[in-house]
Structure 1
């Protein structure tokens, strides 16, 4: 279950965002990433899959594969949130539980220069997404 149809890594995201000059360019990249992330099936948009702490509606599916890596798929009804989710998935998808637990998402988003442009509620929502992923992928 690769949400992009292929693996997009945090290294590729870092390169994409370091090449983007200014917030407007980063925002456009988030929108492009949101469009690449396929929607969840309506049947998966359930309370059991809901991510709480996000102002918009958001959902997470997580499944561990035979190698012990987690396959993650997120969706949201808000385009910018979906783009932020794509950035999170690039960093955390197809990783083991210890790798997911150890990943410093705050440093990642600081490096991408995203947190300083997000409203406090959107930043908290993003942290809720990461928290939901870490909770669902316990070792």
Structure 2
């Protein structure tokens, strides 16, 4: 699997900066959808039950590959969803964690970022719960990579 799951998508710091410049929720909503459009489509071979994230109202897939790194295993994620807004949430999560060593992934707080960006208060509880499910999946994959490397 290619280790660059995002195409034409900004890194997480740029995403945070862009959110801070958008005052209107409609603009932020459009920006999340735009981030999703920048996400490379997930090849059909990765749209498996094993890669499907449980607990999401929409269909969400996260494919994970592990590569060795000097600071421990690095996880590379590719993801997709059948819903535009959720696809954008996948893009935000991947910008935060993909390509990072397991320690950084486990130390990251995507839920706090989700709230800081004002997403929780403007999205349905199902979308918020789905995002939490994606975060749990990423953390589980990081823990598994650490166990496999030990």
TM-score (norm 1): 0.94
Runs (5+) with no aligned partner, structure 2 = none
| Equivalent residue number for residue 109 of structure 2 | 104
What secondary structure sits across from 1:61 in the alignment?
strand
**CA offset digits 1:61-109 (Å, max 9, x no partner):** 1111232221111111111100011011111111111111111112211
Give the one of 109, 116, 125 matched to 2:121: 116
Whole-Å separation in 2 of the counterparts to 1:86 and 1:111: 16
| Equivalent residue number for residue 48 of structure 2 | 46
Q: Considering only CA atoms, is the larger Rg found in Structure 1 or Structure 2? A: 2
Cα RMSD (Å): 1.4
| Equivalent residue number for residue 16 of structure 2 | 14
Task: Assess, with a 3 A threshold, how the Cα gap between structure 1 residues 27 and 36 changes in structure 2: closer, same or farther.
Answer: same
1:88 aligns with 2:90: no
What's the offset of the Cα at 1:7?
Answer: 7.2
Whole-Å separation in 2 of the counterparts to 1:19 and 1:40: 30
Contact 1:62 1:137 in 2 (8 A): no
What's the offset of the Cα at 1:6?
Answer: 6.7
Runs (5+) with no aligned partner, structure 1 = none
TM-score (norm 2): 0.87
Count of residue pairs the alignment pairs up = 139
